[in-house]
Amino acid sequence: MSSDSEPRRDLRLSGLHKRYSNGFTAVKSLDLVIPQGSFFALLGPSGCGKTTTLRMVAGLEEVTAGTIKIGDQDITGEKPFRRPVNTVFQNYALFPHLTIAENIEFGPKRRGVKESASQVKEILELTELTEQAGKKPAQLSGGQQQRVALARALINRPEVLLLDEPLGALDLKLRRSMQGELKRIQEEVGLTFVHVTHDQEEAMTMADTVAVMNQGEIEQLGSPYELYTNPQTTFVANFLGRSNLIKGTVVGREGSGADAVVKVDMYGTVVSIKQGRVHTDSTEGWIGIRPEKLLIQPEGTSLADPGNHFSSAVVIGASYLGVSTEYVLKMPWGQELMCFEQNRGVRGGLVELGTKVDVSWRQEYVFLLDSSQDAQAGREEE
Amino acid sequence: MHRAGNWIGKHLMITLGILVLIYMYIPNFVVALMSFNDSSGSRNLYQFQAFTWDNWLNPCEPNGMCESLRVSVEIALVATIVATILGTLASFALVRHRFEGRSTMNLLIFLPMATPEIVMGSSLLALFVAAGMGGSLGFVTILIAHILFCLSFVVVTVRTRLAGLDSNLEKAAMDLYANEWQTFWRITFPLVFPGILAAALLAFSLSFDDFIITNLNSGTTVTFPMFVWGSAQRGIPMQVNVIGTAMFLISLVIVAAGEIGARRRAKMLAQR
């Protein structure tokens, strides 16, 4: 870690652009500042340009336009072996003909580090691989190989560590434990980690800041909490968790400054949305409500929670998941909405299919998106 | 009788396997046996007369045989080295670089493998004569011909190995501060080497026992296969069997060494 007197060594991408020779544009004028020492995630579906971005930072892919800087040092045209950057590859890319110790020692040896043996010993201990030192990569399990890949990069103490879907090849249980492990190591060594993944849960668990990428551009950047509670585009709303998007018309504005609200009519119910959660200037918009923010109550019984509500929705589907139940509701105007309910035992059972229910929500959780965007964007294929 | 039938039924797979093996190895066995045949004073050279060590003690007794063997080994060695180097370079170009006419190039390289040897041999002869080398057919023309037909096989073998190599390994090496040169010698080459070695062994054996193309382009030079062919008209000297057996034993040792290495690696893998 650097003291305050040293200049900050943030990773700065300015106008970074990648166009392949076949005409495909993978990354479109990306501007991004990744603060030194942070755990940063680039999240997006496959083909969104996140891996290309990572490879440009590593120097494994040529930059079409724009610059890459660490602090004030421009590394845009630098050869990969001259950058203070190391990568943990997607399938680890361990050298099959070298032992674990030789794999880890590869970087220090190329840089001509003299005391590499003691460094190797140290990093083997940190990653709990001491007993595997003499083995070949093929003799290790997936989780062990993953740790070798991490050790091989970390031993070089790069200023930026790039992780390309590092946990993609592991099974769910191992992935969960490695998520914690990675986070712990990052906090211990204090290096900048840039983590590329398509797994929103992985990004949200580990990263301080997440940038959601789509079609070569960053859709939104922020903390996992900001991204989830206040998405700015339909893509983010659907890709990070799930969202109900309902068509609405702006009917008026009230207040000013921080208290300003936009009033939106959706099928007869008027919702007041804070200006900070409104992401369109148009008079039409998508009103977004997260499924777990919707509360349902069989018609005729009193609503537990104050707020906006609709009546006459019909339960047409229910998936019981143990901790929670996912209901599908058919609204009077024909649209289907999702509603996730914690199974806290308040209701004393599931709501029967075909039951007419009232639906309520607190309007401070609602967000308004631009109606020109595709309501299906970012939704997983089902 | 019934019992025997039962036994065979139970062991049908292994019985068939052994029969096939016997079928495959009888010629080698006969060659080895004949290398100890004392044929002196007999007219029928293809019959075992009496046991002797003489053939093994004086392998070079037949006139010109060891000379032809030396020529064959020399040609095979040089052809192997040149074809392996050229073929390996060609494989790298074909696998690693995108260039205009790459697929045509691929096809053109494989075509000689499908060309009948007799056609290739006679067209080469025509070429050599047209090039004014008709009077000096010999070591050099044989060598040119051998490098030519070995090339395709080398490219096929090395190409397969190279195509199976994860290019991320090289990227990882570059990422870990290895420059292009170090990446090649520490990562790419060691990983492709088994393919190159296999290609070289294949090239050597192809060159060593080629007869058809060699015979057409050899002039007065005599290679070992040509010597055997020539002497077969009169009666093969028993020493030919000595050479044959020795060659067989050498390849047996190479194969066994490879197998032991592979088993050791497999054993290491099993210790997970």
> 């300015």: which residue's tokens?
A14
Residues of B with CB under 8 A from a CB of A: 166, 168-169, 171-179, 182, 186-187, 190-191, 268-269, 271-272
Tell me the two tokens of residue A48: 């969104």
Q: Which pLDDT band holds residue A3 (cuts at 50, 70, 90)? A: very low
Tell me the two tokens of residue B34: 């004949």
Tell me the two tokens of residue A268: 């007869």
* Residue A67 region by backbone torsions, left for phi larger than 0, else alpha for psi between -120 and 50, else beta: beta
* Coil vs helix vs strand at A139: helix
CB-based contact B174 A81, cutoff 8 Å: yes
* pLDDT given for residue B236 in this prediction: 82
Chain A nearest-CA distance from B182, in A, is: 8
pTM for this model (two decimals)? 0.78
For residue A144, pLDDT beyond 70: yes
A242-370 fold: OB fold (Dihydrolipoamide Acetyltransferase, E2P) (2.40.50)
Whether residue A99 lies within 8 A of chain B, CB to CB, comes out as: no
From B272, which residue of chain A is nearest by alpha-carbon distance?
A139
Give the residue from A222, A204, A363, A376 showing the smallest Cα distance to A289.
A363
Q: Which residues of B touch A90 (CB under 8 A)?
A: 168
Q: How far apart are CA A294 and CA A357, in angstroms?
A: 12
Per residue in A12-66, pLDDT (tens digit) is 999 999 999 888 999 998 999 999 999 999 999 988 999 999 999 999 999 999 9
For residue A195, pLDDT beyond 50: yes
Mean per-residue pLDDT, A165-193? 85
Q: Which pLDDT band holds residue B123 (cuts at 50, 70, 90)? A: very high
From B271, which residue of chain A is nearest by alpha-carbon distance?
A139
Q: How far apart are CA B162 and CA B187, in angstroms?
A: 12
Average pLDDT, chain A: 89
Residues constituting chain B: 272
* pLDDT given for residue A239 in this prediction: 92
Tell me the two tokens of residue B78: 């040089």
Quote the longest CA-to-CA distance of chain A: 79
CATH superfamily of A11-229: P-loop containing nucleotide triphosphate hydrolases (3.40.50.300)
Mean per-residue pLDDT, B104-131? 91
Region B69-237: CATH code = 1.10.3720.10
Tell me the two tokens of residue B27: 């010629």
Partner residue facing B174 (CB), from A80, A96, A153: A80
Best to test chain B binding among A90, A91, A95 (most B CBs inside 10 Å) = A95
Give the residue from B84, B153, B90 showing the smallest Cα distance to B117.
B153
For residue A271, pLDDT beyond 70: yes
Q: How far apart are CA B21 and CA B10, in angstroms?
A: 19
Contact A318, A339 (CB under 8 A): no
Whether residue A119 lies within 8 A of chain B, CB to CB, comes out as: no
Contact B128, B239 (CB under 8 A): no
For residue A290, pLDDT beyond 60: yes
Give the residue from B120, B121, B143 showing the smallest Cα distance to B216.
B121
Q: Which pLDDT band holds residue A1 (cuts at 50, 70, 90)? A: very low
Q: At A160, which helix (H) or strand (E)? A: strand A160-164
Give the residue from B162, B167, B268 showing the smallest Cα distance to A91.
B167
* Sheet of strand A367-370: strand arrangement: A269-274, A261-266, A244-254, A284-289, A367-370
Q: Which residues of B touch A79 (CB under 8 A)?
A: 174, 179
User: Cα angle at A175 between A169 and A180, to 5 degrees?
Assistant: 140
CB-based contact B169 A141, cutoff 8 Å: no
Per 3-state DSSP, what percentage of chain A is helix, strand, and coil (rounded to 5)?
A: 25, 35, 40
Delimit the domains of chain B by residue range.
2-41, 69-237
**Interface ipTM:** 0.79
Partner residue facing A110 (CB), from B182, B268, B269: B182
